[in-house]
Amino acid sequence: MNTPAFLDSPSPVADAPLRSLAGATRAELAAALIEIGAPEREIRMRTAQLWHWIYHQGVASFDDMLNVSKVFRGRLKERFTLARPQIVAEQVSSDGTRKWLIRLDPTHAKDRGAEVECVYIPEEDRGTLCVSSQVGCTLTCAFCHTGTQKLVRNLTAQEIITQVLIARDRLGDFPGGARPADGFVPGGEYRAVSNVVFMGMGEPLYNFDNVRDALGVLSDGDGLSLSKRRITVSTAGVVPRLNDLGAETGAMLAISLHAVRDELRDRLVPLNKKYPIAELLQACRTYPGASNARRITFEYVMLKGINDSPAEARELVRLLKGVPAKINLIPFNPWPGTVFECSDDATIGAFSDIVFNAGYASPVRTPRGRDILAACGQLKSETEKLRARALLAAGA
Ligand code: SAH
């Protein structure tokens, strides 16, 4: 094979640190190829090649890219890697739920070594990955532990996408991969990661551009190929961004409603002061792509004596008239220091019956991974405990 002329010229950025292309968008891959001097006319073809290897095959080394010439692979390796952010800790719950603590790539982040958590929830015929969109969160919802975390920054699209790559690596979900020996992962005829929910740390719609770009990569049919119907973005209700989310991504929408009166919702989800319930529901009525076949999920955390009365259940049903909705009742997951308690089973049952009798599916979300603190709103606590333990162990 003829060596293309550009490969003979010295790399202009030979001394820069290696950058990972795992989790890169198509535009970032094209830019990387231009950076190493690939001729304009090859960019499209080369991008498609890299894309296939990175996202369809899941390779973590350029040397595995069999149809890419050795010379070209060498050129890529001078400048780039396919390294993933490191899994600092993995915990496997007795119910098969897994939680990973992920140290973000220090060469990409403004901060050094920021960490996020990512949770995998297996079921018989599917597996759901709960990803984070920010380190920490600015919303300070009263019942959520993440809101008390100090450091807050947006994740890059790459940092969102690599959560999925890491999970698929670990779960043997790429061609040739093997399921882990421990815990439970759906069998080989099912994808280990079939669904992705943006219900980890952060408010995805306050990181709109990166979430949108990440969704584009996750749902790309030549790569990770996750169906958009199986990707759900959960928001506390950033009203001005809802339409963009539907129009630009086609993702499924979940709304953290949690209260049916503004006065209470102002206290539970302070973002409500900016975007009150009526405005939020109006934006849901016009959410692009919502239909009876593609319903919006309304999340409602069950807080004892706060929002769990039969009257509130009836009001919920009334409010959601005209919205293609399903309702997801979430038992509150307590965390150390919280003033809230979870409603008791009978109260949740009565609430659920009212919603169900009004014609809504109203599943009560089964708490998963409670023994490893992997449940909603708890992702932060364990990280901090691990940190404290590590500091103690180091004698700090
Ligand atoms: N910021 C986004 C996504 C993150 S939280 C949002 O607000 O939707 C994902 C879901 O978990 C939200 O519905 C949130 O309100 C809920 N949640 C947070 N803390 C919780 C807790 N301690 N118990 C139960 N659900 C909680």
Residue 376 near ligand 1, beta carbon < 6 Å: yes
24 φ, ψ (degrees, to nearest 5): -75, 150
Cα 176 to ligand 1 centre (Å): 36
- The whole-number pLDDT of residue 12 equals 47
- The whole-number pLDDT of residue 387 equals 53
Distance CA 209, CA 376 (A): 24
Strand 126-130, strand 80-81: pairing? unpaired
Residue 301 near ligand 1, beta carbon < 6 Å: yes
- Residue 191 CB-density burial (10 A; 0-12 exposed, 13-18 middle, 19+ buried): middle
Q: At what angle do helices 208-218 and 239-249 cross, to 10 degrees?
A: 20
Distance CA 278, CA 259 (A): 12
120 close to 129: Cβ distance less than 8 angstroms: yes
- Give average pLDDT by consecutive 10-residue segment, the chain, 396 residues: 41 68 97 95 96 97 94 96 93 91 73 84 94 93 85 91 97 94 86 96 96 98 95 98 96 98 98 98 94 94 98 97 94 90 96 93 77 62 52 47
* Residue 153 parent element (H or E): strand 153-154
First to last CA, the chain: 58
- The whole-number pLDDT of residue 109 equals 54
> How does DSSP assign 354-384, residue by residue?
HHHHTT---PBPPP-SGGGT-STT-HHHHHH
CA angle 194, 161, 153 (to 5 degrees): 130
Query: Order of strands, edge to edge, in the sheet holding 325-331?
Result: 86-92, 98-103, 115-123, 126-130, 195-198, 231-235, 252-256, 296-302, 325-331
Ligand 1 pocket test: pick from 138, 330, 348 the residue with the most ligand atoms within 8 Å of its Cβ. 330
Ligand 1: atom nearest CA of 342 is 23
Contacts of 70 (CB under 8 A, 6+ apart): none
Catalytic residue among 130, 284, 376, 382: 376
* Residue 259 DSSP code: -
Ligand 1: atom nearest CA of 377 is 19
Q: Whose CA is nearest to atom 1 of ligand 1?
A: 203
Cα 300 to ligand 1 centre (Å): 9
194 close to 124: Cβ distance less than 8 angstroms: no
121 φ, ψ (degrees, to nearest 5): -120, 100
> Which residue in 101, 319, 272 sits closest to 201, CA to CA?
101
Residue 303 near ligand 1, beta carbon < 6 Å: no
Tell me the three-class secondary structure of 285-354, residue by residue.
HCCCCCCCCCCEEEEEEEECCCCCCHHHHHHHHHHCCCCCEEEEEEECCCCCCCCCCECCHHHHHHHHHH
Q: What is the pTM of this model?
A: 0.91
Residue ranges of domains in the chain, CATH in brackets? 5-81 (1.10.150.530), 94-384 (3.20.20.70)
Residue 340 near ligand 1, beta carbon < 6 Å: no
Q: Is 117 a catalytic residue?
A: yes
Residue carrying the six token digits 């060469």: 107
Residue 377 near ligand 1, beta carbon < 6 Å: yes
Strand 134-135, strand 231-235: pairing? unpaired
Residue carrying the six token digits 């220090």: 106
235 close to 253: Cβ distance less than 8 angstroms: yes
Cα 150 to ligand 1 centre (Å): 18
Residue 143 near ligand 1, beta carbon < 6 Å: yes
Cα 143 to ligand 1 centre (Å): 8
Structure token digits, residue 380: 């932060």
Residue 280 near ligand 1, beta carbon < 6 Å: no
Distance CA 163, CA 169 (A): 10
Ligand 1: atom nearest CA of 340 is 22
Q: At what angle do helices 70-79 and 26-35 cross, to 10 degrees?
A: 100
- The whole-number pLDDT of residue 104 equals 86
- Coil, strand or helix at 192: coil
Residue 333 near ligand 1, beta carbon < 6 Å: yes
